[in-house]
Each structure stands twice: as structure tokens, then as C-alpha cells.
Amino acid sequence: MSVLDSLAAISLLSVWFLCIEASVHDYAGEKFVSKGNAFVVHGGSEGIYFSLPNQNESAANCDSCIRFEKITFRRPKEYSNFSSRLVQALIFEVDDRETIGGSAYGGQRAVCCTADLAKLGVCSQGEIIHRPSSQNPGWPKVFGVSFNADELTAKLQPKSIQITKTGMYNLYFIHCDPNLKELVVEGKSIWKNPTGYLPGRMAPLMNFYGFMSLAFVILGIFWFSQYARFWREVLPLQNCITLVITLGMLEMALWYFDYAEFNENGVRPTGITVWAVTFGTVKRTVSRLIILMVSMGYGVVRPTLGGLTSKVIMLGATFFLASEVLELVENVGTVSDLSGNARLFLVLPVAILDAFFILWIFKSLSATLNKLQARRMMAKLDIYRKFTNALAVAVIVSVGWICYELYFKSTDVYNEQWQNAWIITAFWQVLSFSLLCVICALWAPSQNSTRYAYSDDGEEFDRDDTLTLIKPSPIPSKDVRSPPEVRPAHGGNDVSNGDLEEDKTE
């Protein structure tokens, strides 16, 4: 792998896992890492929209720029007895990546100018190899500073780089002097878009979460109005759905305020981010548990989950912990430091638990549908069939989107499609909201809510509407027999006991 490939790989990790502390990139003693014949510190990668230069704007108030503040390079005293070569800052747009580096006589591509290339007169030995961009005049930007003998620090002058072309920009601090051992960089770089400090890849998400907040408010108005009208008929399952809607409203609002604060100040509000992540994780966990319990027939064909309660709670708690850790690591702090293997280690448990949820849900749905059909509970059977179809569509769409997401990431190696990357995050929110709307439509509070609830009386009204017009005889005759599941009082107890026994054995 060449040095340029290494730089591209670093950029890829930094962008896809970019939930940096802010668009203000802080460097607190970052050490240079050897990459080929260069020593590199990755300073950041962000999508930036262009703005036309304004002669009246100051460097501190530019509309679209990358600004350097207090960038300082430090070396230990024991390695300070010589004058060094340049320590340089390199900024380039992803389309100009081929203008960085070179090779002599078809050899391995390198970032630092070698003696052979210096003899050809294409660069100065010990400096970064770069050529002017044909598409973006004046780019890439390369500037640096060197150490004099016995100097422990070297400072870059404050500088503001105006962005005049929309693109994915990469910043690296690079030196080519192997004698500069233990060199570190301190200070910060500030990346600004015309609309604020949000990275270009994340900027559309602020408006998206605003729209999602409005969508949850509309859903909440519908649900809570029905809840208030028929509060005497409300089932425990509907109370759980109310909790999910409330958590969703809070989550979307918190994400919007998180992005708005980030965009305004350039520093991500850690407290709001943690709360948004936590509410989102709780919502996803409760949603999965509700779907699982509904699939098992809780409150519909069985009064309790029986012996499965502890297993369901354990699965939910494990999923919550795994998801919370993953989301906190992805959204709080400097995620650029997280390697691909480390992130895979955190993603795998969540993916496995999700797959387990799906398998258990559909297995339980199959058993519940068979039970409803055997007991001829047609109203409940109809609602469960609709619920099953909605879940099946959601799973199929999810699998298709995952395949598209893998294709998107594998083909966009250099993040040239960064302006569309927000859609991947938005899709999962839209899908979960759509499924929640379906559940709300199927189980909305109404005057007939008890029609779908578990009952000890055999639920004869649910099997056929005409049966409700016939007053059952207290003494069964030889000519008119009760349906198999409608029995005397002691028979109803037998059915309930049978369900409980089934719960214990599942």
C-alpha cells in the first residue's frame, strides 16, 4: 500500500466515523505517525460548501473557510540540537488527490520528495510533492515552518483558507525529517460552512430532525386525542405505544437542538448529545420489546408472558447496553480516533441482537397466528395479519437498504458522495417512524379496544359477529353444541392454564 492509499484510508475512517467533538478540531499533543517516507498527523476531513470571496469579511468571520489558530509544533529538548526541515500543513480537495505525491522512474509513489526526484527538478528534497490543480486554481495549499537549532517550538502563523469550490477537504500535518522524533502538534483548526459550523455531511440532518420533530408532534396529537377520548378503554399495550411516541418526540427534539447548537457555536454540546443518544436507545429498545410481546400474543391470546418474561427483559437490557455504548462512542467525543476494527467490535453485538429479535418475533408471530386461526378469533387474526405484513415489508426494505449502504460505502472510497451520506442516517429514522405509524393505526385507542384484549370468557364475540346476537343457553343441549373453545366456566380455566403451561415450556 502506498502512502497516498494510507492517507486515503485515514480520510475514509475519519469521515464515515466523523462525530468529532466539534467543527473546531483540537490537537492536544497529537503525535506524528510514519506513513511510507512521510510522518503524518491527520488534521480533519469535512465536506465544505463554497462561498464567493467577500472583500469586506475578515479572516475571523469568513463564510466558508478553514482557519488555523495557535498551531504549534513541539519537540523534546533532547532532539532539539539541530535545525530541521519544514513541518508542513497540507490541505487538498478529494478531486485533487492525484496532485499529491510522485515517483521517480516508475517506482513506489511517495509524499516526500526523494533525492532522485530532486535531481529531476520536480520538487525540493525533504518537502511535500505537489502539483497545481487543473480544476481548482491555487490548490492544494501547502505551507509550513521549521525549527532552528535548540528551538523547542515552532508556530504556524494564524491563517484563513477561503473555500471557493464545494468538496471534501482533507488536512494533514506532514514532515519528512526522520530526525524530528517525538514531534507533536497542538492548537486547533476551525472549519466553517456558509450556514454554520456543521460539517457539510451533517448539515442536512439539522433540517431533517426538525421535520421529524414536526412529524412526531402530528402523530402525538392524533394518538393523545384518541387516548383522551377513550381512556377508559385503554389497554396496557397502548400505554407502551404512548411511551414510545413520547420518547420519539423527545429524541427528535434533542437531536435538532444538538445540531443547532453545534452549527451555531462550532462545539458539540456533550450533555444534549448524551441525552439524545440515551432517549433514542431507550426508544429503540422499548419498540423492539413491544413488537416482540405483541408477536407473542401478550394481552391478546395470553394474559402474561409467563416463564418468558425474564428472557425478554434480559434480551432488552443486553440490547440497550450494546446500543448505548455504540451510540455514545459514535456521537460523543473524538470518534476519529476509533479504528475500523474497534467500531466493528461494537457494531457486531448490536447486529447479532437485532437478528435474534427478528427471528424470535417472526417465530412468535407464526405461533400466535396459528393459535388465533384455530380459535377462530377473526378480528384479532385480521389485525395480526396486517401487522405481520407490515413487519415483513419493513424487514425486506431494511435488508435491501443495508445492501445499498454497503454498496454506497464500498464504491465511494474517497467520499466524493458526501453530500448524499446523510440519507443513510435519515432512512432508518423514517423507516422506524413509518412502522410506528402502522402500529398506531392498528392499535389506536377506540371504543372497541377491548375487542382486541385478552379475555377469560372464551372471547365468543370475536369469532363471529352473529354470535353476539344469540343469548347462550345456560344448559347446553344435544342439538346445539358450543364451539370447541367455548366451554363452561371450568373449561375456560383449562384454556388459560394450557396457555400458562405453554408459556413455561417455550
Over residues 115-148, the pLDDT tens digits come to 888 888 878 888 999 999 988 888 999 999 999 9
Q: What is the reported pLDDT for 22?
A: 40
The domain 3-192 is classified under which CATH number: 1.10.357, 3.30.460, 1.20.120, 2.60.120? 2.60.120
Q: Give the residue extent of every domain in the chain.
A: 3-192, 203-449, 460-470+479-505
Q: What is the reported pLDDT for 446?
A: 81
The domain 203-449 is classified under which CATH number: 1.10.10, 2.30.29, 1.20.1070, 2.60.40? 1.20.1070
Per-residue pLDDT tens over the stretch 172-193? 999 999 989 899 999 999 999 9
DSSP reduced 3-state for 417: coil
Distance CA 46, CA 52 (A): 19
Per-residue pLDDT tens over the stretch 261-298? 999 988 888 899 999 999 999 999 999 999 998 888 87
Q: If you compute the radius of gyration of the chain from its CA atoms, what whole number of angstroms results? A: 31
- Burial of residue 25 (number of CB atoms within 10 Å: 0-12, 13-18, 19+): buried
Q: How far is CA 218 from CA 54, 235, 245, 251, in A?
A: 43, 22, 11, 15
Q: What is the reported pLDDT for 41?
A: 94
How many CA atoms lie within 13 Å of 500's alpha carbon, on the beta-carbon side? Answer: 9
> How big is the CA angle at 23 (ends 22 and 29), to the nearest 5 degrees?
70
Distance CA 193, CA 203 (A): 9
Select the highest-mean-pLDDT range: 33-47, 59-73, 204-218, 433-447. Answer: 204-218
Contact of 256 with 213, CB cutoff 8 Å? yes
Overall pTM surpassing 0.85 (yes/no): no
Phi/psi at 82 (5° precision): -155, 160
Q: How far is CA 157 from CA 22, 65, 88, in A?
A: 22, 16, 12
Distance CA 103, CA 117 (A): 7
Distance CA 406, CA 223 (A): 36
Amino acid at 144: G
pLDDT category of residue 7 using cuts at 50, 70 and 90: very low
Burial call 463-488: b when 16+ CB within 10 Å, e when fewer: beeeeeeeeeeeeeeeeeeeeebbee
